[in-house]
Amino acid sequence: MSDGGAVAGPDGELRCPWGLSTEDYVTYHDEEWGRPVHGDDALFERLCLEAFQSGLSWITILRRREGFRRAFAGFHIPAVAAFTDADAARLLTDEGIIRNRAKIDATLANARELAGWSAGELDALIWSYAPDPATRPVPKTIGDVPAVTDESTALAKDLKKRGIRFVGPTTAYALMQACGLVDDHLAECLVRRQLAEG
């Protein structure tokens, strides 16, 4: 039985245990999760997907990701901000995404809010909450990985104050993990080694 530490995959390399549960997760774990993401549209996509994931498993979102990209104009903020009531109605019938009215409405409202921000402002705001890596202990097991931190709580509060909906402290922390603001790959994980080597 695993103690929650890194587990060897078919290639013999050690990975975070969740990163070996499905082929989709192996690719996402190895190539995306924890690697730095920049750019307003790219971060808007992650923000939206993390909000849609709330209450669901991440694999559900991951397997619909291309459907989300098609439905939401590649998460190009000005394009989504221009969506009409007819677009919202269309999204509620789109089987390629999660058809949750509150999450769809929040995505459209967030795009309209962000469309008024300066270029790079979302990127700068989110990354301003990245903690100093030297202050963070390296997780040895999945039990060492937090679900929420002071930084994610502050980021969620700041986004809410600026009119961004459906992003609580847990969702904000998942965003920070996914976009590389923090490195929660386990101590023996091959991706942590790759990130350290640059």
Q: Which of 50, 129, 151, 173 is catalytic?
A: 50
Q: Which of 18, 32, 58, 117 is catalytic?
A: 58
Render 4-22 in DSSP notation, one character per residue.
Answer: SS-EE-TTS-EE-GGGGSS
Tell whether residue 179 is among the known ligand binding residues.
no
Closest CA to 49 of 77, 26, 68: 68
Tell whether residue 48 is among the known ligand binding residues.
no
Cross-strand bridge partners of residue 8: 14
28 an active-site residue?
yes
Q: Which of 25, 28, 33, 173 is catalytic?
A: 28
18 an active-site residue?
no
50 an active-site residue?
yes
Closest CA to 50 of 12, 106, 7, 95: 106
CA 68 to chain centre: 14
Tell whether residue 38 is among the known ligand binding residues.
no
Q: Where is the binding site, in residues?
A: 16, 29, 185, 189
Where in the sequence numbering do the catalytic residues fall? 28, 50, 58
Q: Where is the binding site for Zn(2+), in residues?
A: 16, 29, 185, 189
